[in-house]
Structure 1
């Protein structure tokens, strides 16, 4: 089920929004990734899904393209889940009250594909729900490093998506690999990832999930090539560390009654 045929070599760039998949992966051990967040995104006509990850009890990081649509009416974060189709006692459902999309995000080429989501209330930290540390400005992964990606996306090219959390191990690639496929690849703000010899990949809708290397989030699932498994673009978190902390500091200001941002 998890091994797919490579159907075409057409270089069509797609943001991985909507229902997606972990291809060539395996089911994660239940609750082994307590930082994972499931994003339920509703607009007037449909509901879509993305991934994300908890970096603070009141804050989740994800991909900007997941929530960029102005027609979105509600975003709900589900923490502590393994089987998303069940009402597990471990799950915490919390509404998003503010979306901080990077001001220079470009849907056309995937630049600055990052969003910080402010939760309506703080998550209760326990064995099922925990924060994950993210890369600092001076921390970088190197070509050859092995990392993991997790998500509730499809396990084949077609629906339905997976009910249980899946994971896959992928290798960081040299920048020149992605420069061959992505005209606007920016090594300072993007990470080139994938497995050239195996059909393993996150795809549409695993968007927003973390690239975890040595127990720290270094990337965010961002973009791929239609019907290809290699290579993939991830947002490089270390490049955005100052912006993330700037927005996190603004959370407290917004909570002050009468402040401009609280209105």
Structure 2
């Protein structure tokens, strides 16, 4: 069966501004003709910090409070990224350790359209069968159909064996296996870096999927990287306040 068009793939448009932690990453990608904008997702975990996927990070502007990213909505906050850190063991070949933390030039103004989302405790696991949500502005079909508005899809956490059989480089500790087989629902190009939200926490980061098929999907397991995230947040804080002890 062909995947449905018009959705994230197989999802629905979100109620505008109902996912106020979402960040749209506008990325300048160099090509032969100059520079070509691309995009990813991300999510606010502190007023001045966004989590995303390592493979997304180049020259980035973060747009918060967006629903339609092709309209200058009054709710949008556009903030440049002043610093970022990609996990030191990130591999662009295997997409292991696909996580990056971005430091915003100025703190986001927290309101009903822009707020942060909780992340799990270190090594806190989400159970197989848990139904989670993923939102983003990525392609809405394998044929390259696009969307201006944020879309969302429900996906289940799957047994690790499914991804271990599919992907040679799948790592149980640092990745989550996700997807509903034969459902026609999936994330796709442009959704990378967005959060897998389970029980109101960002447990995963959209990373990669199989070539030529929609499922299963691999997400970076946020809980595995919590010590690293905390360490980088302390480093960001020390850049601003060299004489002050970190509050993290």
TM-score between the two structures when normalised by the length of structure 2: 0.92
Higher relative contact order (CA 8 A, sep 6+): 1
Q: Find out whether 1:34 has 2:33 as its counterpart.
A: no
Does residue 161 of the first structure (1) align with residue 160 of the second (2)?
no
**Local SS of the residue matching 1:245:** helix
Q: Does 1:109 align with 2:94?
A: yes
Change (3 A) 1:42 1:213: same
Distance 1:257 1:138 in 2: 30
Which stretches in structure 1 are left out of the alignment for 5+ residues? 6-20, 259-263
Partner of residue 43, structure 2: 53
| SS of corresponding position for 2:209 | strand
What SS is found at the alignment partner of 1:94? strand
| Residues in 2 aligned to 1:55 and 1:256: alpha-carbon distance in whole angstroms | 20
**Count of residues in Structure 1 that have an aligned counterpart in Structure 2:** 236
Q: CA deviation at 1:257?
A: 7.2
Q: Distance in 2 between matches of 1:86 and 1:167?
A: 19
How much has 1:100 moved relative to structure 2?
Answer: 0.6
Residue 130 of structure 2 corresponds to which residue in structure 1?
145
Query: Per-residue deviation at 1:256?
Result: 4.2
Mapping for residues 196-207 of structure 1, pairs under 5 Å: 196-207=181-192
Q: What are the Cα deviations for residues 142-170 of structure 1, in whole angstroms up to 9, with x where unaligned?
A: 11000000000111123342100000000
Task: Using the TM superposition, give the Cα deviation of residue 204 of structure 1 relative to its aligned residue in structure 2, in angstroms.
Answer: 1.6
DSSP-derived class of the 1:218 partner: strand
TM-score with structure 1 setting the length: 0.87
Cα distance in 1 between the residues matched to 2:208 and 2:144: 19
1-side partners of 2:189 and 2:29: how far apart?
Answer: 18
User: What do you get for the CA RMSD once the two structures are aligned?
Assistant: 1.5
Other-structure match for 2:77 = 92
Distance 1:61 1:256 in 2: 22
Question: How far does the alpha carbon of each residue in 1:85-118 deviate from its partner, in whole angstroms, 9 at most, with x for none?
Answer: 1000000000001111000001111100000000
Q: Find the aligned partners of 1:160 and 1:98 in 2 and give their Cα distance.
A: 32
Query: What are the residue-to-residue correspondences of 1:1-263 with 2, within 5 Å?
Result: 4=3, 22-44=8-30, 45-67=35-57, 72=58, 74-256=59-241
Structure 2 residue ranges without an equivalent (≥5): 244-248
Secondary structure of 2:55's counterpart equals: helix
